[in-house]
Structure 1
């Protein structure tokens, strides 16, 4: 007896979840959308927070910056757990490869004295700034409203731990394979005049109650520092005979470019909101300008110390970037 194999296609009764269908129609959706849309708890809470009884435990008024529909914002990278972990694993494997090359060739030992001091006194201590950034973004992940926003913040918080590890591994390599230099880096962070503005601002931002304002402040510091350290100094390292610095900075620069995507998209969503866009734009200008002013005050002594060590126009670079960020936050950019 012969049997004929046939393929039978069973059409699904529906293509996606109800929440997705209401927004995008009854059609297949990405895993990102299916895992995040309308996840934010909005009702049937058991109690109000005892430390702020005027609000619900999840409340959209924890920040001045609000969206009529929180899900009008989407992370343009479409990160959910699997692609996020895969992307970051690749990032850290690439850094490990670069660090192995640096150590095998003895490039850290061959750094010019000024560049070695920049790494030891200024760059490696920023592992503590990255750790502070993690706490700031954890606060945003907890108090933000809308899962697309809080998930992006949570992944960015994880990233800051990874950035601290990158700087720590560079410090261990610079210290000859021991953690002694990391102890020195902590002393620099706690004691050096060039770093106290950054430390003070980091600690104040950690306790900022408005997560939107805190994000603006962290972002302002990031834009000034990352442009200075991982673009401007990278360019200078190429001509100064400091290839080890460039090999390390490329990984921080690539992370920063990726991280900017979700933050810029959030600013755009705030401005584009049909009902609250004008209010958000005015708030972005007001708090954005203030954040840049505070960031510039904190970063300028840091940049001045770099100029003392290697004379690369760091202060001028920071001032130019601050003017650029101020312009981007202006309300007329909406």
Structure 2
């Protein structure tokens, strides 16, 4: 097997723990709201939903909502920020259920995917259920502006998924199109999650713009690292089968860069394995080798650091507090998963 670019670090990795510690009470309320809103008289719905939502995960998106609200001084006794955070988690979970069906994925967060356990039809329908629950929560919050942001995010995510679908196995996909896809399918919800936190706190000026920018750039960095990790050979770290993107013919930045920088023989390899999906024993190892040889993995991570720096800069207008410091460390955490 080819040697893979080492993503191991020698220093203590940044963590989400400081941010989670500062938002412990809010996130406990979010968890309770999630459980309550997954209830249904149809037993399969909470069972399947809990298979995904209850499987753990970092809950970064709802965490961004409650953290952004607190950063903007939210101190109401009401649960509007909790409902919005729950809404964000349900939108995310619904898209995951649908994505796993489209991608024919078998593993998520180290567990069999819902579609593997319950079937495609049930997964799609329960995803629809979670979307409807999300919109119920938006309406209960009672803000048309918030409804506009989150409904726009939902439609943008769907557009991103369709764009990814039509770009699948197209090895000539330019980097600009790839960035458009990840902005839509991943970063848009990060941006909306942070933005509505500012909105529920009544900050509709520079703070709202800053947090939207923070979330967008964090989301781009997060997805870039995910796409790099899929070629890192570290399944335990990623929580899914490494090489899935390759096997599915998914066009991600490491592949785009390796294709553009390779010679005729290399390009024929990518056309066979990605466009024609004619994959043979040893092809994944060859893909690792080409991605390493052309510096594609290292440059993908360098781009992630670039967007991470922009996310950190976006918080510059906020005063120095433990919460701001924890959000900055969350950016480092998103990127340093690759170390």
**Superposition TM-score, scaled by structure 1 size:** 0.32
Per chain length, whose mean CA-contact separation is higher, i.e. which structure has more relative contact order (CA < 8 Å, sep 6+)? 2
**Superposition TM-score, scaled by structure 2 size:** 0.31
